[in-house]
Structure 1
Amino acid sequence: MNTIAKHENELTDPSDLKRRSLLQLAAGLAASTTAIQTTAAISSPVAPAATGKPGDFHFLSGTWKIKHRRLKDKEWDIFEGEASVIEILGGVASIEELRIPARNFSGMGLRLLDTERKLWADYWVNGNNGILTPPPSLGSFVNGIGTWESEDKDGEQAILVRGVWDQITSNSCRWYQTISRDQGQSWQENWVMHWQRT
């Protein structure tokens, strides 16, 4: 979900479009984006650990209620959402439909495992336009904690974005995001999602 950083403004964009069935669309995207995922460059200054394996995102399959806390204009915005996640292709693909009904927002996280490189690619699709947003962030799990880092820009300033999955149990987990404006010397938390299975 690190790609939420690139699309956080979409949560407040008004839209009269009907929400697409992203889970049906995702099966086609999973097959059609293999070449993109395989050739994606690692943009993080520190290469992720090559420990990815099929089923790493099995813990996320199911339906969830999510409590969000997002830093916006130096204030914490607190809101609720929900998600449905499925695992396909023998555990090498995980598809998440994220919904924020109160804000008329939906999006899809598409995670694909490059089984040769042992790295997970994390993509984002905005429900308003259905466009897959490359390049993905690459990462993997080490000792039960998943970390993805990528380069991005905040206006003209180069930043690093880190997304982390942790506190994983059978019924809950946490995803949080931090950004660095000084090439990784310090990090600021700007998004936290507490997931609770329904």
Structure 2
Amino acid sequence: MTSLIPAAAVAAIDPRPVGKPGDFDFLTGEWRIHNRFREGDKWIEFAGEATVVAILGGIASVEELRIPARGFSGMGLRLLDVEKKIWSDHWVNAKSGVIGVPGQLGVFEDGVGTFLSAGEGEKGDELYRGVWDRITPTSCRWFQGVSRDGGRTWDDGWFMDWTRAG
């Protein structure tokens, strides 16, 4: 299928090269997470937890996410391409053990990390977005969404409010 994603949306997947080691250091530690997730036409809420470590001098961040109430766990792997100064955010579901490639590309600007990728959904071309915002020493938020109109509008369907544990 020929891509119908507008050039502006493709450009959005090519972030400005401003990534630097340590951008994900805020996430290092133990967390409790309040999830709000849309299933069909209703929102459900459930607890989760995560352990995050920064390695390789801050150019890598590894997250183990655990959501016992949903029988779900996985690993977030965030890597900085030091030369290009762009982060890639990958996901590994514990049930498959397969890393999501190529991952969402992004950077942090003005205290917000925005990560994008493109793919084909059931209804055609889609953009996927993950955002880290509301970052403080004791909390942060991540949310994800999809756009089917080249990034003009977003349907955000999963919100995670992170609170530092102990």
Q: TM-score, normalised by structure 2?
A: 0.89
Tell me, which stretches of 5 or more residues in structure 1 are unaligned? 1-42
**Paired AA for residue 73 in structure 1:** G
| Per-residue deviation, 1:156 | 4.1
Q: Is the 8 A contact 1:124 1:132 kept in 2?
A: yes
Give the residue type in structure 1 aligned to 2:20. K
Residue matched to 1:40: none
Normalized per residue, the structure richer in strand is: 2
Is 2:49 aligned against 1:82? yes
Distance in 1 of aligned mates of 2:10 and 2:158:
19
Which consecutive segments of 4 or more residues in structure 1 shift more than 2 A?
A: none
User: How far apart are 1:178 and its partner, in Å?
Assistant: 2.1
Match of 1:60 in 2: 27
Quote the residue 2:151 is aligned against: 184
More helix, by proportion: 1
Shift of 1:152: 2.3
Superposition deviation, residue 100 in structure 1? 0.5
Partner of 2:62: 95
- 1:134 pairs with one of 98, 101, 107: 101
User: Percent same amino acid among aligned pairs?
Assistant: 52
Quick one: distance in 1 between partners of 2:149 and 2:98? 31
Please state whether the residue corresponding to 2:104 is helix, strand or coil. Answer: strand
1: CA distance, partners of 2:59 / 2:152:
33
DSSP-derived class of the 1:110 partner = strand
Deviating more after overlay: 90-99 vs 100-109: 100-109
Summarize the Cα distance change of 1:124–1:44 in structure 2 as closer, same or farther, 3 Å threshold.
farther
In the other structure, the counterpart of 1:173 is 140
Residues 1:108 and 2:75 are matched in the alignment = yes
Letter in 1 for 2:91: W
